[in-house]
Chains A and B, each alone.
Chain A
Amino acid sequence: MRATGRLLRGKLTYYVIGVTLLFGHSIFGHPVTWKDGMSTSTLLSNSKTEHQVFYSYTAKQAVGIYGISINNESYGFIQKNTLIKRWNGTGFQGNIYTMVGLGVTGSRKKTPAMHVAIQGDWETRQFYTQGLIQGLITEKSIYLVQGRVGWAPYLVGFDDLSTWLILQLNTTVTTYTTTYKLLPVVRLFKGGVLVELGSNFKDRHMLKAMIHF
């Protein structure tokens, strides 16, 4: 019975990962910006907290620090982000990124940790999809899968305030549990400043701020 449950959970996880890969990408915004570009962001939510600062030394490579606190454990990494592939088309852009970080856990017993992630997105001026698979590899590894679909209710110019309505699916897989959370998010950005507010109007809330400069 337990084996069947584990098998089903495994299949479900693969399904979620597959769907997320199909629908594209996540938390990191664009992990690589432009040559000599800096990016900093903070995410606060019920289930986790994230902070990161990255410097793009080319348009395809960035280095920086990434910190995450989840499931009563904190992690800190020195990380390299790589733009593997970008599709620039007339009216659309698609990206695939990888992220590899080496660091430690923040608990009293400091243990080595590794962060690996793959992220993809596809966007036009009015629609976007995003997907992320993230692994925090330690003695008790955690895998996070996030998928997003977004829609802009109106089109704006370069200097105007953009608004996106996003539906976000978060999946957390640990050794013993798999949890799924759906969250509506409003994304606002103007210039190099981006703010995201998410809430299911019950018990889950999310705030994210990102600056590109």
Chain B
Amino acid sequence: MYVKKIAIQVLISSILLLNPIIIMGATKNISWLPLKNTDLQVSKNAIVKKKVLTKYPIKNPDIVIKINGMVCSFCAQGIQKQFNKHPAVKAVVVQLENISVYIKLKPFRLLPKKEIKRVIQEAGYEVGDIQYL
């Protein structure tokens, strides 16, 4: 019993003793200490970039539409033109990067899914996904 107690104490002591060495070993390749100005800048840029990516290209869009086949801005002009002439649409922005179209509706106007599909088809494309915000 006494021997067992001593063995446990030795084990715990060893772990406590070795713990900083293990931590240092695991983190020796991470150069976050000491923190430099450039590192801070990189972190800030990453945060800014993330914000930009999640920000919509128009203020408070009402609908985001994913469009299949939208690969060329010359051909996708039709999407912008078709939505721009729609009486319910106030503003439209096309983003090729994420194959999406952002729609801002006029006050008290609605644009049902069926109507969106019709407009996209008249532009020569297919709807991938429609998201009302």
A binding-site residues for B, Cβ under 8 Å = 29-30, 32-35, 37, 58-60, 83, 86-93, 123-125, 155-160, 162, 189-192, 194, 212
B binding-site residues for A, Cβ under 8 Å = 67-82, 93-97, 99, 121-126, 128
A83 to B123, CA, bound (A): 13
A158-B125 in contact (CB<8A): no
Residues of the B chain whose Cβ atoms lie less than 8 Å from the Cβ of A87: 69
In the A-B complex, the 5 residue pairs with the closest CB atoms: A88-B69, A34-B78, A35-B122, A93-B69, A88-B68
Residues of the B chain whose Cβ atoms lie less than 8 Å from the Cβ of A92: 69, 71
**Residue on A nearest B97 in the bound complex, by CB:** A157
Contact among A37, A93, A157, A191 with B72 in the assembled complex (CB-CB below 8 Å)? A93
Residues of the A chain whose Cβ atoms lie less than 8 Å from the Cβ of B121: 59
Residues of the B chain whose Cβ atoms lie less than 8 Å from the Cβ of A194: 74
A89-B69 in contact (CB<8A): yes
Contact among B97, B124, B128 with A90 in the assembled complex (CB-CB below 8 Å)? B128
**Residue on B nearest A32 in the bound complex, by CB:** B124
A35-B69 in contact (CB<8A): no
A189-B73 in contact (CB<8A): yes
B68-A90 in contact (CB<8A): yes
